[in-house]
Amino acid sequence: MQIRRILGILFLIGWGAGASWAQNPSTPCFTLNRIIGCAPLTVTPQDCSGAPSNLIFYDFGVGGNPRPPGNFTFDRPGRYQVRQIINTGGQGGAISAEQTVEVLEPVNPTFTLEACNSRQVRLVIAPNNFPDFQIDFGDGNTRLAKASEPVIYQYPDETPRTITVRGYFAQAQVACGNATQTFTPAQGAARGVLQQVRVGPNGRPEVTFSLPPSGGHQLIQETPAANTTRTFDLPAGATSFTSPDEATVFDRRIFRLAVRNPCASTPQVGFERLGTFNLTLGPSRDRNRLLWNSPPHGGFQSYTLYRNNQVVFTSNNPNDLSYEDPNLECNTRYCYRLEVAFANNLRSITQEQCATTGSLSDPQPVRNLLANIANGQVQLNWQAPLPGPSGRRPNIARTIVERKVDTLAPTRTPVPGNPLIYNDNQVDVSEFRYCYKVFYEDACGNQAQPSNEYCTILLRNRSTPDSVKFTWDPLPGQGATAVIELLDEQGNVIRTLPATGPNSFEDTKLNIPVQLVNYRLRVTVNQPGQGLITLYSNPVRIRLFARFILPNAFSPNADGLNDTFGVRGQFITSFRIQIFNRWGELIYFSEDLNARWNGEFNGKMVPAGEYAYVITGQDTQGRAITNKGILTVVK
């Protein structure tokens, strides 16, 4: 319908010239010079219907406006329907035919080149939206290829060439988008040269070599113990490579260089091999003993052992696999490495092994560590270590106090010399239980075994308004006994109470003369070699609840029983009571805690019933107290 409306006008324009043709219309027919290509794509319709040209129009699917015959350029990628429209005049208005044009994004191809032996090149094109690619090798030869499929081509000589790759549509023989690279063919890749393997501080071999700039080399790593081989590609110009695998006495690594030929299935492997060595150091009190492996392959020439970068041993005998170094000084760090020379200037260097000697030193642990709490800090004391097997007492250079709290990692604090006493003030003894170990280093840098672990006593408060409750961990030491001490504000012991359980205490009587009181646990332990030792827990401050004590009814009937009403208090410093009748009238008031009400108001006895009271006051710690309730007067 849209075409008929548009051609209604076109019919009038072309009526005169095509009136006679309209009596015998032909079938719409046209061809396009191109039906597929990259943007911008120009197409030219060619009519084959035989209709007069002034009655032929084309709709290219862009903008919706038919055009007279002529070229049209598609600027954007997409699929378009090109329609030929013929004005038939009185035969029905218009007839049409259509064809599809596909316009693609002109993406330039990307591709990689690798040089091979015998002047060959290996080319791989990355996938994109082209079904095929046309390769121009720069020597007059071209070839079609698919993406991701390797193409190998051999040049007749070593002249540098420019290789061009274009996107290609074989069906339409259309090419668009292009990329170029320069390539120089070579007869054969030069081989690299092994130089050295060194086992680094992390145990991984570091291989150095010399490679030609052409690249294409691989490093082959053999592990004889596991009968396995790994291959690593080396970038062009590389001078070293660090293996991802450690080299140990059981997993020795042997390396070889190979020239990788991308156009062949197997590389050309060099004949030179270079393996790792493992150096072990066994320090003792008066000497260092070193051991190493025998050569893993041929070409051995010599061993050279270095101590602190000075040569201490050389040998040309491949069976010399150990050395003892007796020339040691106390508290001195010695670092050793072994260098093994092979033919063709190859060299294998072991991982450096270091130790600080402890000549004639046999440190023993400190004894009988104790941890006590005093003045908010932890006091540690211990006994000096006994002489060792050599009969010498250790010359202690520094003592180390290790502290652990809850699940946190232990912390260590060094203390010069051997003080036998240490005060730890970086603690919160009311919240945490601290556990300690003590050890030391002698003048030769040798470390003694840690002492026994000893923990502080943490008194945990579980009190309620009606009782005082405490718990603690099992007591340390032999034959430990515990009692609870009550202390006043000045730290004086008011009362001593026995524990009510193995690790607990509860007091429900609360017959205590002061409101603010401190509790602590006193523990007596039998320490070997020291006799009975007294230890203390953290003090726990308890503020007992101040309270008013009063009946909820009284009978002012002069029978001598419960005739007056009064209030008693515990830990009260100020007091006020107000009593109201049901109309809110104040009928009794007093600020004397010892006063008693006889039930009268304005000289007359109040009637029986319920009366509201409000009591306010302050305890010995200055805290406000309020008590409200109902008092019943009974006759």
Per-residue pLDDT, 389: 66
Is the pLDDT at 165 greater than 50, yes or no?
yes
Task: Grade residue 515 by pLDDT with cuts at 50, 70 and 90.
Answer: confident
243-257 confidence digits (pLDDT tens): 999 999 889 999 999
In sequence order, the β-bridge partners of residue 56 are: 86
Task: Grade residue 604 by pLDDT with cuts at 50, 70 and 90.
Answer: very high
| Cβ–Cβ < 8 Å for 180, 109 | no
Handedness of CA 290, 294, 299, 300 (dihedral sign): positive
Is the pLDDT at 91 greater than 60, yes or no?
no
Asked whether residue 147 falls in the same domain as residue 216, the answer is no
CATH number of the domain where residue 583 is located: 2.60.40.1220
Cα–Cα distance measured from residue 24 to residue 88, given in angstroms and rounded to the nearest whole number: 9
Average pLDDT over every residue of 172-185: 86
For residue 592, give the DSSP letter. Answer: -
Asked whether residue 51 falls in the same domain as residue 140, the answer is no
Asked whether residue 141 falls in the same domain as residue 68, the answer is no
Domain boundary among 356, 389, 415: 356
On average, the pLDDT of the chain sits at: 86
Per-residue pLDDT, 20: 42
| Cβ–Cβ < 8 Å for 190, 268 | no
Give the number of other CB atoms < 10 A from CB of residue 615. Answer: 20
Specify burial of residue 69 (Cβ count, 10 A radius: 0-12, 13-18, 19+).
middle
Average pLDDT over every residue of 418-433: 92
In sequence order, the β-bridge partners of residue 617 are: 575, 625
CATH number of the domain where residue 222 is located: 2.60.40.10
Give me the DSSP letters along 580-614: E-TTS-EEEEE--TT-EE-SEETTEEPPSEEEEEE
Per-residue pLDDT, 7: 41
Give me the DSSP letters along 306-360: EETTEEEEEES-TT--EEEE----TT-EEEEEEEEEEGGGEEEEPPPEEEE--TT
Measure CA of the first residue to CA of the last residue in the chain; give whole Å: 112
Specify burial of residue 81 (Cβ count, 10 A radius: 0-12, 13-18, 19+).
exposed
| Cβ–Cβ < 8 Å for 456, 497 | no
Specify the pairing of strand 36-38 against strand 93-104. Answer: parallel
Q: Give φ, ψ of 19 to 5 degrees.
A: -65, -40
321-331 confidence digits (pLDDT tens): 999 998 777 77
Asked whether residue 508 falls in the same domain as residue 469, the answer is yes
Asked whether residue 500 falls in the same domain as residue 591, the answer is no
Assess if residue 146 is contained within a domain: yes
In sequence order, the β-bridge partners of residue 373 are: 378
Q: H helices of 106-245, where? A: none
Q: Give φ, ψ of 421 to 5 degrees.
A: -140, 140
Least confident stretch, 108-122, 212-226, 470-484, 506-520: 506-520
Assess if residue 370 is contained within a domain: no
Cα–Cα distance measured from residue 364 to residue 368, given in angstroms and rounded to the nearest whole number: 13
Assess if residue 525 is contained within a domain: yes
Nearest 5°: the CA angle 433, 438, 442 is: 165
**Chain center to CA of 440:** 35
Asked whether residue 319 falls in the same domain as residue 266, the answer is no
Handedness of CA 554, 556, 561, 564 (dihedral sign): positive
Cα–Cα distance measured from residue 632 to residue 609, given in angstroms and rounded to the nearest whole number: 6
Is the pLDDT at 392 greater than 70, yes or no?
no
Grouping H, G, I as helix, E, B as strand and the rest as coil, residue 473 is coil
Assess if residue 364 is contained within a domain: no
Average pLDDT over every residue of 214-233: 89
**Domain containing residue 507:** 460-543
Asked whether residue 6 falls in the same domain as residue 97, the answer is yes
Is the pLDDT at 4 greater than 50, yes or no?
no
Asked whether residue 520 falls in the same domain as residue 552, the answer is no
Q: Give φ, ψ of 21 to 5 degrees.
A: -70, -35
Type of residue found at 10: L
Grouping H, G, I as helix, E, B as strand and the rest as coil, residue 537 is coil
Q: Comparing 587 with 513, which gets the higher pLDDT?
A: 587
Q: At what angle do helices 2-13 and 15-22 cross, to 10 degrees?
A: 110
Per-residue pLDDT, 6: 42
Is the pLDDT at 613 greater than 80, yes or no?
yes
Asked whether residue 267 falls in the same domain as residue 286, the answer is no
Q: Which of 84-98, 295-309, 414-428 has the largest mean confidence?
A: 295-309
Assess if residue 438 is contained within a domain: yes
Question: Where on the phi/psi map is residue 569: left (φ > 0), alpha (ψ -120 to 50), or beta?
Answer: beta
Structure tokens at 120: 């060959």
Assess if residue 366 is contained within a domain: no
Record the pTM: 0.40
**Chain center to CA of 185:** 49
Asked whether residue 14 falls in the same domain as residue 100, the answer is yes
Is the pLDDT at 19 greater than 60, yes or no?
no
Asked whether residue 416 falls in the same domain as residue 442, the answer is yes
Which residues have a Cβ under 8 Å from the Cβ of 262 and sit 6 or more positions away? 114, 115, 116, 122, 216
Task: Grade residue 514 by pLDDT with cuts at 50, 70 and 90.
Answer: confident
Cα–Cα distance measured from residue 91 to residue 18, given in angstroms and rounded to the nearest whole number: 12
Structure tokens at 399: 């003592």
Q: Give φ, ψ of 345 to 5 degrees.
A: 65, 25
Average pLDDT over every residue of 301-318: 97
| Cβ–Cβ < 8 Å for 581, 541 | no
Is the pLDDT at 9 greater than 50, yes or no?
no
Specify the pairing of strand 120-125 against strand 132-136. Answer: unpaired
Per-residue pLDDT, 130: 82
Asked whether residue 300 falls in the same domain as residue 242, the answer is no
In sequence order, the β-bridge partners of residue 209 are: 194
334-367 confidence digits (pLDDT tens): 999 999 999 999 999 999 999 887 655 667 899 9
Per-residue pLDDT, 224: 94
Type of residue found at 160: P
Handedness of CA 489, 490, 494, 499 (dihedral sign): positive
Per-residue pLDDT, 628: 93
Which residues have a Cβ under 8 Å from the Cβ of 89 and sit 6 or more positions away? 11, 14, 15, 18, 19, 22
Is the pLDDT at 189 greater than 70, yes or no?
no
Overall residue count recorded for the chain in this entry = 635
Assess if residue 23 is contained within a domain: yes
Average pLDDT over every residue of 276-282: 94
The residue assigned the tokens 């320090």 is 283
524-578 confidence digits (pLDDT tens): 988 877 788 899 999 998 877 778 888 999 999 888 888 899 998 888 889 999 9
Task: Grade residue 22 by pLDDT with cuts at 50, 70 and 90.
Answer: very low
User: What's the domain count of the chain?
Assistant: 7
Domain boundary among 394, 426, 450: 450
Q: Which helix (H) or strand (E) holds 605?
A: strand 604-605
Cα–Cα distance measured from residue 511 to residue 491, given in angstroms and rounded to the nearest whole number: 19
Assess if residue 610 is contained within a domain: yes
Task: Grade residue 402 by pLDDT with cuts at 50, 70 and 90.
Answer: very high
| Cβ–Cβ < 8 Å for 205, 242 | yes
Structure tokens at 373: 């709490």
Domain boundary among 42, 74, 104: 104
468-510 confidence digits (pLDDT tens): 888 999 887 667 889 999 888 788 888 888 888 888 888 776 6
Type of residue found at 148: S
